[in-house]
Structure 1
Amino acid sequence: MEQRLLGKSGIATSVIGLDGRSLSGEYGPLDNVMAFTVLAEADRSGVSFWNTADVYGDGLSETRTGAWNAFNPANRVIATKVGRNNELYPARHQYDRMRRSLEGSLQRMNVDCLELVHLHQLDAKMLQGDQVWRWLEDFRAEGLLRHYGVSVQTPEQGLLCLDKPGLTSIEIVFNLFRQEAAETLLPAAAKVGVGIIACQPLASGLLADKLTALSQFDARDYRNPSNAESRAVLGLPYGGFSLPEGLKAVEQLKALDLAPHLALYQLALRWVLDHREVSSAVVGVSSYEQLHHNVAVAALPPLSWDIHQRLRELPQRLALGPQDIAVPA
């Protein structure tokens, strides 16, 4: 598995990472046996960057990740997030509350220090200020965390954070349907040595080409239209588009027949990985077979210049503009 540096931090990440949301049951039911089977396959496949959050499954993702990590120590990087649980969200971000949230993550993940913590989609005003960044520096001085970054909704929010001296990385939704970061945030982050974590590279399953208008979702699945509570905390799936809109865009993309030698998920993932500013693309999976297929994309050759040029025109061709909405990361 190819490794890339996470900005100037010195942390090496696998180019294909594991989205811990899938370990929480929020992509459909996943029992302990299958969750640990996925984690075992991640280890075997060289997927050494795992990305989770305290709110994924109300801590279940962190708990499962921590249990596996404790009994199967390895050279892996596990990132989590803080800022969206009930004690903090939407407007109760205080030093003591955030500290308690981090202590909860430490306990669930069974570690003494969190390797990497991302602020989880705080509002732009808070990100632009200095207070929350001072808190993170204090937490680092206490030994609660080693590195910190931010998960943002838009490239503009990410740009607001690039002047923070301790910033290690930025998480943002980045896929064929949400390309706007490529022209702004990615080059700006690279210039100052900040790593990029690409979330939703397959647009919550749309670009895996497995969803249809008749797809049914478990009650806890955050893609379920009736799961308003989960969406309020975690944001909207599919990069912000409705399922019918997304399915229409997928069919239009397939009709272009840009790379007939590749499956749609291979084209979508390879496009993300071809952006060298991306340190890791974190993908949610519900089986070890899915993980194995995603990992294989890392070994594929880059897409041609012509394919990249045509894909660059895709959002305009499909009338997919930037979405000023809360999206999961």
Structure 2
Amino acid sequence: MRTRKLGNDGLAVPEIGLGCWQLGGGWGKDWDNEVAQQILQQSYDAGVRFIDTADVYGDGASERSIGQFLKTHPDITVATKLGRGAMYPSGYTRDAVRKATQDSLQRLGTDKLDLTQLHCVPPAVLRDGKIFDWLREMRDDGLISRFGASVETVEEGLVCLEQEGLTSLQIIFNIFRQKPLQELLPKALEKGVGIIVRLPLASGLLSGKMRSDTVFAAADHRNFNRDGQQFNVGETFAGLEFATGVALSEQVAAFVPGTMNMAQMALRWLLDHEAVSVVIPGASNTAQAQANASASALAPLPAAVHQGLADLYRDHVHAAIRGPY
């Protein structure tokens, strides 16, 4: 698999990684470590060497499953996140951040985190800036190698880009959510900050497999947060109302080249942007893991496809997106 730089310190990572929110469970299903190990192995066999998790995924189960896999596959770069657990929304202290880091180290079975990221912490905490001082201190103390931030809006990303030592920004960016192209991605590229793309398939809308009558499990965020009832609405279906998203995905289908499916096109679209370092689609089974990794080998999309998708976003998608963006 092709590799790209993540940040300014020379770290190279494969351009397709694995997002581990639903690794082995979550999204309405109980955690199954055996499934997690199978998905990790299939992804590894396909060339994936970058995986992204968080301390709250599966209440720590995601990190524990990854820690088990790392024992026999130490050549993987692991990015985790902190800030949406016990300290959210107003308990951000130096001690709380260090404890969250130490807990992740224990679950992952390592003595130093490759990359830790702030996990969609409140904008006021980002603007205050103290939390970045604590991250730099942990880097200097040897608990972490690098730090970054996962954000919900372009404005939050721009605030983070002003912080010295920032390695990466993790953002929601996909065919339905193109606003980062205007200012955020060019500035990140200028500063040498890596871009990690989450929700590249817009919670499955860009897989081309969803219909207006698709039913999700009660505990699946695509059911309980489809209108932002529990957290930022942009984390689910890119902020689109579900039926609207399905209808728009049918318009996207018209641009899919005959050599690929919609999910592959959506991933290839992201990889065609120079500022993107790594895309982290999730996988709930081994077939999805293999299919996601295959996008790296595809040729760039024709200019006409890029223009058509840009026009679709401008004319039909942008105004339909709900929530902070």
TM-score bracket for the superposition, by shorter chain length: over 0.9
Letter in 2 for 1:48: R
- Contact 2:227–2:233, Cα closer than 8 Å, also in 1: no
The 2-side partners of 1:40 and 1:28 are apart by 23
1:225 pairs with 2:224: yes
What CA RMSD, in Å, does the superposition of the two structures yield over aligned residues?
A: 2.2
- Contact 1:236–1:326, Cα closer than 8 Å, also in 2: no
Distance of aligned partners of 1:232 and 1:14 in 2 relative to their CA distance in 1, 3 Å threshold: same
Letter in 2 for 1:288: T
TM-score (norm 2): 0.93
- Matched with 1:19 is 19
Distance of aligned partners of 1:120 and 1:24 in 2 relative to their CA distance in 1, 3 Å threshold: farther
- Give runs of aligned pairs for residues 307-326 of structure 1, distance below 5 A: 307-321=305-319, 323=321, 325=323
After TM superposition, give the deviation of residue 228 of structure 1 in Å.
9.5
After TM superposition, give the deviation of residue 293 of structure 1 in Å.
1.1
- Contact 2:227–2:241, Cα closer than 8 Å, also in 1: no
Q: 1:306 is matched with which residue: 304, 307, 313?
A: 304
Distance of aligned partners of 1:227 and 1:63 in 2 relative to their CA distance in 1, 3 Å threshold: farther
After TM superposition, give the deviation of residue 78 of structure 1 in Å.
0.3
Distance of aligned partners of 1:15 and 1:26 in 2 relative to their CA distance in 1, 3 Å threshold: same
Residue-pair matches, total? 324
Structure 1, 290-299 or 206-215: larger mean CA deviation: 206-215
The 2-side partners of 1:241 and 1:269 are apart by 19
- Matched with 1:178 is 177
Q: Secondary structure at the match of 1:170?
A: strand
Runs of 4+ in 1 over 6 A off after TM superposition: 226-230
Distance of aligned partners of 1:155 and 1:227 in 2 relative to their CA distance in 1, 3 Å threshold: closer
- Matched with 1:52 is 53
1:4 pairs with 2:35: no
1:88 pairs with 2:84: no
The 2-side partners of 1:244 and 1:10 are apart by 43
Distance of aligned partners of 1:133 and 1:169 in 2 relative to their CA distance in 1, 3 Å threshold: same
- Give runs of aligned pairs for residues 94-243 of structure 1, distance below 5 A: 94-225=93-224, 231-232=230-231, 236-243=235-242
After TM superposition, give the deviation of residue 53 of structure 1 in Å.
0.5
After TM superposition, give the deviation of residue 130 of structure 1 in Å.
2.6
The 2-side partners of 1:209 and 1:240 are apart by 17
- Matched with 1:276 is 274
5+ residue gaps, structure 1, are: none
Letter in 1 for 2:6: L
Report percent identity of matched pairs.
38
5+ residue gaps, structure 2, are: none
TM-score (norm 1): 0.92
